[in-house]
Amino acid sequence: MLDVLVVGAGLAGLTAARRLAQGGRRVRVLEAGETVGGRVRSREVEGFTLDAGYQVLFPAYPALRRNLDLAALDLVPLPSAAAVRRGKRVDVLGSPLSDPASLPATLGASALSFGDKLRVARLAARLLSPPAHTLLAGEDETTEDFLRAQGFSGAALDHFFRPFFGGVFLRRDLSTSARLFRYYFRMLMDGGAALPRRGMGEIPAQLAQGLEVRLGVRVTRLLPRGEYTTALTSAGEIDARQVIVATDPPGAAALLGEDVSRGSLGSTYLYYASSRALDDQPRLLLNGEEGLINNAAWLSRAVPGRAPQGQHLLVVTVLGLPDLGDDALDARVRGELSRWYGDASRELRSLGIERIPHAQFPQPPGYAATLPGHATRLPGVLLASEITSMSGIQGAMESGEKAAAILLGDLVALSRPRGA
């Protein structure tokens, strides 16, 4: 009989399985989909490497460093900060620490007033000194309230913080917990953002190396039998001494029969090809105006190789799940892109639209106190998922580590604070 059955090959499940296998347990992972990685995956379309939506990696995430060989991921650092687009106007906002060459453009950028630029520097200095994980504790409020208390103007919020952190937290209203804002700001300062050269899918592929993973097998029910649990699956029954449910939160709620889900934030992505880059800007482009587009990136400029020779790849992020058919959505987004690129936007060829109903879960102030733990009401069944920690790669991986630590009796891992 298996020691541990892990349900779901997202980052939480794979991290748990890897830790358990390293601890000598006989582990099998069952994954309903056709690839490992869950929300972190990549696919090839006409020679373009498309991630699931626009995702980036913060190499400073501590759980990433503990569980992955970052050198083998061949990370390509992304240019710091962003460029704010207001129609044809582009304002570069670089980080003087990691990108000194961007300093003159940043100082001249009108998207942020001089006072707001000083406030960013003061905020950075304040967040740099404490241990990063302690930023997840302390007072909580919305990110907007926190930023206003720091003296930031409404223009700074609209031109920079809403679109930039809208891309991170998948909502533009800055209603996410300020603790998380401070932690992510610090992660960006500590390690910037990067992408694996061959796609985000390289992350789960590395985690899955050497593990027994069965793809295309959905677990439909878990039946505790005392000393072991029987999993009913699309490929028959499997018994295991312990089970770790590492599905997405809505899936976990269905399997566990308890309310572990905390809602869903959806997002939508439009992928475009063109034979020339319409923008010479390799930075993340932020929409500093009203519109469907929150942010966009010429990925092939930042990571050559994501597009075939002589081609370019643009990924556009639209927050939420607009109630528009593909053609209408494409037309609206093209209309907004034409404000940036004029008639040249006609050269864009659609590679597809991806709608992701559960990309993250909402994390308002105080959210952490409401999250479920690893124990479930089913004996012998543990939960591992971003939902026990925070929505993101760090949260998913540290959750997998903790669930494995419970079964391995690993006190060091168990006593590690969130975010550390």
Q: How far is the CB of 122 from ligand FAD (least distance, A)?
A: 26
Cβ nearer to ligand FAD, comparing 20 with 30: 30
Three-state SS across the chain?
A: CEEEEEECCCHHHHHHHHHHHHCCCCEEEEECCCCCCCCCCEEEECCEEEECCCCCECCCCHHHHHHCCCHHHCEEECCCCEEEEECCEEEEECCCCCCHHHHHHHHHCCCCCHHHHHHHHHHHHHHHCCCHHHHHCCCCCEHHHHHHHCCCCHHHHHHHHHHHHHHHHCCCCCCCEHHHHHHHHHHHHHHCCEEECCCCCHHHHHHHCCCCEEECCCEEEEEECCCCEEEEECCEEEEEEEEEECCCHHHHHHHHCCCCCCCCEEEEEEEEEECCCCCCCCCEEEECCCCCEEEEEEHHHHCCCCCCCCCEEEEEEEECCCCCCHHHHHHHHHHHHHHHHHHHHHHCEEEEEEEEEEEECCCCCCHHHHCCCCECCCCCEEECCHHHCCCCHHHHHHHHHHHHHHHHCCHHHHCCCCCC
Q: How far is the CB of 19 from ligand FAD (least distance, A)?
A: 14
HSE on the CB side for 154, CA within 13 Å?
1
| Short-list 279, 181, 240, CA closest to 30 | 240
Cβ nearer to ligand FAD, comparing 89 with 214: 214
Cβ nearer to ligand FAD, comparing 109 with 189: 189
Q: How far is the CB of 356 from ligand FAD (least distance, A)?
A: 5
Q: How far is the CB of 407 from ligand FAD (least distance, A)?
A: 17
Cβ nearer to ligand FAD, comparing 345 with 392: 392
Q: How far is the CB of 402 from ligand FAD (least distance, A)?
A: 12
Q: Name the residue whose CB lies closest to ligand FAD.
A: 10
Q: How far is the CB of 210 from ligand FAD (least distance, A)?
A: 19
Cβ nearer to ligand FAD, comparing 201 with 395: 395
Q: How far is the CB of 308 from ligand FAD (least distance, A)?
A: 23
Q: How far is the CB of 13 from ligand FAD (least distance, A)?
A: 6
Binding site for ligand FAD (CB under 6 A): 7-13, 30-33, 38-40, 52-53, 55-56, 218-219, 246-248, 251, 255, 267, 356, 359-360, 385-386, 391-393, 395-396
Q: Residue 196's beta-bridge partner residues?
A: 75
Cβ nearer to ligand FAD, comparing 145 with 354: 354
Cβ nearer to ligand FAD, comparing 39 with 301: 39
Q: How far is the CB of 301 from ligand FAD (least distance, A)?
A: 18
Q: Give me the count of residues in the chain.
A: 420
Cβ nearer to ligand FAD, comparing 16 with 278: 16
Cβ nearer to ligand FAD, comparing 15 with 102: 15
